[in-house]
């Protein structure tokens, strides 16, 4: 019980990751696949942010005279947050490219169901 409550965010990240992967593999609609991809990427972001969190820790802003006497236990780790800022940008651009591609697929085939599109391509 203790393990679950202390690792709740990790378990959530894992469940979200698996859920996204499942949606990506099983769903037939391209937009739903993209939802799956976004959920999967968000799960990784949640995982990183969970690494940075500590009990009773504040925001990592150190005053100018704080040299030499910084207790790291009092501050949340800022590095994963900075990394995830970049990862969010990457995820957003992936989403943008994916949506543009979906638009072009829809214009070409008038459908978003993957099996229909593949069937039409095979028929040609």
Which structure tokens are listed for 109? 């085939």
CA distance 35 to 59: 32
Is residue 116 a contact residue for other proteins (CB under 8 A)? no
Per-residue x/- track, 83-112, other proteins (CB under 8 A)? x--xx--x--xx--xx-xxx-xx--xx---
Binding residue for other proteins, selected from 24, 29, 57, 76, defined by CB under 8 A: 24
**Cβ closest to other proteins, residue 65 vs residue 122:** 122
Could you tell me which residues come within 8 angstroms of residue 114 by beta carbon, excluding any fewer than 6 positions away?
A: 28, 29, 30, 33
- Residue holding tokens 């005279």? 65
Q: How far is the CB of 43 from other proteins (least distance, A)?
A: 8
* Distance in Å, CB of 30 to other proteins, minimum: 7
CB-based contacts of 22: which residues, under 8 Å, 6+ apart?
36
Say how far apart CA 122 and CA 124 lie, in whole Å: 5
Shorter beta-carbon distance to other proteins: residue 76 or 98: 98
Q: Is the Cβ–Cβ distance between 54 and 70 less than 8 Å?
A: no
Interface residue list for other proteins (CB under 8 A): 17, 21, 24, 30, 33, 37, 40-41, 43-44, 47-48, 51, 80, 83, 86-87, 90, 93-94, 97-98, 100-102, 104-105, 108-109, 114, 117-118, 121, 124
């Amino acid at each position: 019980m203790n393990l679950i409550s202390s690792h709740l965010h990790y378990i959530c990240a894992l469940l979200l990751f698996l859920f996204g992967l499942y949606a990506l593999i099983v769903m037939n609609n391209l937009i739903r696949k993209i939802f799956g991809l976004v959920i999967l990427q968000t799960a990784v972001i949640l995982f990183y942010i969970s690494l940075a969190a500590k009990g009773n820790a504040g925001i990592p802003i150190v005053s100018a005279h704080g040299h030499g006497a910084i207790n790291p236990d009092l501050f949340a780790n800022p590095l994963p947050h900075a990394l995830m800022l970049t990862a969010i940008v990457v995820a957003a651009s992936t989403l943008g490219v994916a949506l543009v591609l979906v638009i072009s697929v829809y214009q070409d085939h008038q459908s978003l169901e993957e099996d229909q599109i593949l069937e039409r391509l095979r028929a040609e």
